[in-house]
Amino acid sequence: MAPGEWKWYVEYTSDYHGYFYAIRDYICSERTAFQKVDIFDTFTYGKMLVLDGKIQSTEFDEHIYHEALVHPAAIMHQAPEQVMIVGGGEGAVLREICRYKQVEQIVMVDIDARVIELCREHLPEWHRGCFEDPRVEVLHQDARRYLEETAGRFDIIYSDLTEPEEEGPSKLLFTRSFYDLVKNKLKPGGICAVQSGGFSLDYLNVHAAVRNTMQLSFNTIKSYHTFIPSFDSSWGYIIGCEDEKFFEISRKDIDKRLRNLDGVLRFYDGEAHEGMFCIPVDIRKALKEDHTVIEDHKPLSFK
């Protein structure tokens, strides 16, 4: 079959730029109460989850994205027992947290029950049955309201959300008020880890705004990043905590702690950790020049 005969999925990153992915098969496509969901099988990256026109993860490289989000915070904390996930519908963040034997409770709060249903059915390679782990509680409600009402406290709170589009379901889960709430729901010594958008010069506005906003809530924040092939971009994450000593962990100590996990990681280890926290001069400069803060009354603009 010639390229012109294939069906293509196109993701536009701006009015002038986008990416093409050849589709082998359509698995499902529907609109939930909150967002548009598409799952494709692509020639290059295998299965692909797309929400509101934005790729969330693919079969080929989801392990990079999810290991990068989960393990730096968990390894630095050393002994997380209560963990919360905000979002994370595929179940892959859940999968990685379930590797930690000392974790006693995992609360996953994702407002869109239908997305989780579709991922459980069509993306078993992502969750690998972890929704059935007895430590896991899945709640379908607004994560912000849950945090406002719960008496629980957590060692780590992970945020794995879609970008804070003005009309999207996640816009109030990236604001200063939300991060203040997250900080107050962490135990002493707790950590917040957030996926925070692209980390290249032409796609840095989300990360910069999230970083500026978290900086108002946490004593210490650190950006880190890794390249995600299916995104064709370096992708950013941020850790927020109160004690800068968390970041002094050595490559040797990381590898030692990883030996206690269930299963073997494919991407993350001590050497990868060191590389992810190295940020080039031009990115550091651009981050310093952006002063955007996301407030409840002032969501991030993509115009």
Catalytic residues: 160
Burial class (CB in 10 A: 0-12, 13-18, 19+), 218: buried
Pairing of strands 36-42, 17-31: antiparallel
Q: Which of 237, 212, 240, 238 is nearest to 227 (CA)?
A: 237
CA 263 to chain centre: 21
Q: Which of 43, 37, 96, 138 is nearest to 266 (CA)?
A: 96
Asked if residue 284 lies in contact with residue 211, where contact means CB atoms within 8 angstroms, the answer is no
Strands annotated E in the chain: 7-14, 17-31, 36-42, 46-51, 54-58, 82-87, 105-109, 136-139, 154-160, 186-198, 220-228, 233-241
- How far apart (Å, rounded) are the C-alpha atoms in residues 61 and 51? 17
- How far apart (Å, rounded) are the C-alpha atoms in residues 244 and 140? 34
- Tell me which amino acid residue 268 is: Y
